[in-house]
Amino acid sequence: MSSFNTDIAIIGGGGAGLRAAIAAAEENPELSVLLISKVYPVRSHTVSAEGGIAGVMSEDDSHEKHCFDTIRGSDYLADQDAVEFFVNEAPKEIIQLEHWGCPWSREENGDVAVRAFGGMSTKRTVYAADKTGFYMLHSLFERSLKYPNIKRLDEYFVTKLVTDFDSTGGETNNEKRAEAMPSEKHTEAENISAKTPRVIGCIAMNLQTGELVSISAKTTILATGGAGKVYSFTTNALIKTGDGMALAYKAGAELKDMEFVQFHPTGLPRTGILITEGARGEGGYLLNNLGERFMERYLPNKMELGPRDIISRSIMSEIKAGRGFSGPYGEYVHLDIRHLGEEKINEKLPLVREMSLDFAGVDPINEPIPVMPVVHYSMGGVATNVNAKSSLKGLFAAGETACVSINGANRLGSNSLAECLVFGARAGLECAKECKSSKLIHVSARELADEENRIAELLQRTGSKTVATVKTKLQEIMQKHAGIERDHEGLVIGLNQILSLKRELKNIELGDKAKLFNTELTGYLELENMFVIAEAILRSALDRKESRGSHTRSDFTERNDEEFLHHTHVLQDQKATMSLSRKPVTITKWKPQPRVY
């Protein structure tokens, strides 16, 4: 079949995508929902989430506290209306998920158990041992099977979003956008002009056959996850190449706050495999080569339970001061959980033990675990409002690919899984509503043919470069120049190197010409997307001449609310180059103040 029609197309089968599908299907059983995923849904990155999901569940917690922790954690860059909505909905989603079969860990008295997490003022993180994402994703997937109106295209890779500008032919997209947005680069997501393009569907490749199909949809939801793979050292799965953000950008949508990339303090050297914050939540210590709990020096009131940006920077300071350990894969510190004892480790942190044994060769019952900061999460993404709407008509986004923004300059651990559920559900409901009044516009046969020709040309192209070499180079540049600490000079070098490397795309020859599961071809398409993400991170980071949350500038070491209390938006302008604009942060009742713990 080469074309599909649906009311709602959802791109991504992780936590956010599945939650959106269920919400839409439940809202209106008459609606057709098509879930498209480049991997089988239960292999989405959500499956690897470990430590837990945040929501106000215990008596000594409150919505006020969760809002404040999230906003302070974000270094006051979160949009506070979104945070309030999120905090209010998160507990309902957690309970809902239990009713759908998710086996949350329990306290002795039978209550749902909560553990401490970084930057939270109280125990707020609900978990299922240290395999939370695995249980959540399977519960969502199984639930989604209940609805006959959810159909799936598993192992279909979306190569392009199609807008009504594309399908009407004639002038180029950018000319039309120029006309549509004369000085409207600053369009508010809510305030979509009548001439803004409408996303009418997408083109996807069936990975089992190599065939391209067109998907016409009244509304489209991006739930494609993050972009950690633009760095060489990351906890992120291979599939996290920022496809959805890049697809949205190329279709004319705005991306937001791309400079904010989270480094998680505790990754295993070499592989970057994550050791969950739950290990510190359960009482683990961070130690330097003198055996000191060095967080005493940086955050004595919070110690190992500070937010991720501060702990990652503290580890780097220890290493710089010569108090780290060196190994074949770089310098690291120790995470010590020996004092928790074998029973607790096996009960609450079985995966931490298993992975330390398999990937670092240490048994944390007897030895400390070597850890170093590692790229983990994209705070930025497709700019959306609190209803998950992007700046384009017909296009919504939720989960890690979106920037709503509840995370601002630094996400608190365990807020992300809750964000996937809350805004996934929101996106599904909003699309269901919008479908009542919107008409299906068909993706034209010409649009499909153009994309088929583009892919055919890629397969025929000759050149001296490979996907692997260019991708590795891109990742190295980002790791070196857009890491935990940045400065003007490094960012400029990084940007110039990325732009010149991008020209090598044309020089890549694909060795594999096969139709069936051509991972070299999809690797190429992902690499194109990664260049969009890399450029957006670097340009946004250059523009933000202050230090806030995860964005640390060694040449501008202080937060500067006077000039930089704003979101950074990037948009493709009429010359197909990336243009930046600044938009206000929504402040409701938490006035920005120094971020003290």
Ligand X SMILES: Cc1cc2nc3c(=O)[nH]c(=O)nc-3n(C[C@H](O)[C@H](O)[C@H](O)COP(=O)(O)OP(=O)(O)OC[C@H]3O[C@@H](n4cnc5c(N)ncnc54)[C@H](O)[C@@H]3O)c2cc1C
Should residue 410 be labelled a site residue for ligand X when binding is judged by CB under 6 A?
no
Work out which of 12, 73, 324, 523 binds ligand X, going by CB under 6 A: 12
Should residue 104 be labelled a site residue for ligand X when binding is judged by CB under 6 A?
no
Place of tokens 């391209």: 212
Work out which of 6, 105, 132, 568 binds ligand X, going by CB under 6 A: 132
Should residue 272 be labelled a site residue for ligand X when binding is judged by CB under 6 A?
no
- Which residues 6+ apart lie within 8 Å of 99 measured at CB? none
C-alpha–C-alpha distance, residues 185 and 575, integer Å: 13
411 is catalytic: no
Nearest to 484 by CA among 315, 333, 324: 315
Among the listed residues 264, 376, 411, 544, the single catalytic one is 264
Assigned token pair, 206: 């069936």
Should residue 417 be labelled a site residue for ligand X when binding is judged by CB under 6 A?
yes
* Site residues (CB under 6 A) for ligand X, limited to 238-257: 239-240, 243-244
Residues in the chain: 597
CB of 171 to ligand X, least distance (A): 27
C-alpha–C-alpha distance, residues 323 and 44, integer Å: 38
Should residue 380 be labelled a site residue for ligand X when binding is judged by CB under 6 A?
no
Should residue 269 be labelled a site residue for ligand X when binding is judged by CB under 6 A?
no
For the CA atoms of 165, 13, 151, 395, what is the dihedral angle to 10 degrees? Answer: -20
Q: What is the residue-wise DSSP string for 544-596?
A: --S-BTTBEETTB-S--HHHH-EEEEEEE-TTS-EEEEEEE---SS-------
Work out which of 39, 56, 116, 388 binds ligand X, going by CB under 6 A: 39
Should residue 574 be labelled a site residue for ligand X when binding is judged by CB under 6 A?
no
Phi and psi at 202, nearest 5°, equal -155, 170
Given the complex with ligand X, which of 202 and 286 has the nearer CB atom?
202
Work out which of 8, 9, 10, 16 binds ligand X, going by CB under 6 A: 16
The angle formed by the CA atoms of residues 391, 397 and 402, to the nearest 5 degrees, is 90
Residue range at the interface with ligand X (CB under 6 A); choices 36-44, 298-306, 361-369, 546-554 = 36-44
C-alpha–C-alpha distance, residues 402 and 400, integer Å: 5
Work out which of 196, 407, 414, 497 binds ligand X, going by CB under 6 A: 414
Report how many residues bind ligand X under the rule CB under 6 A: 46
Should residue 223 be labelled a site residue for ligand X when binding is judged by CB under 6 A?
yes
551 is catalytic: no
CB neighbours of residue 582 within 10 Å: 14
Among the listed residues 43, 124, 280, 548, the single catalytic one is 280
Given the complex with ligand X, which of 116 and 239 has the nearer CB atom?
239
Q: Which run of H or E residues covers position 26?
A: helix 15-27
Should residue 364 be labelled a site residue for ligand X when binding is judged by CB under 6 A?
no
Terminal CA-CA length for the chain: 57
Contact residues for ligand X, defined by CB under 6 A:
11-17, 36-39, 41, 44-46, 48-53, 132-133, 157-158, 223-226, 235-236, 239-240, 243-244, 274, 276, 377, 399-401, 414-417, 420
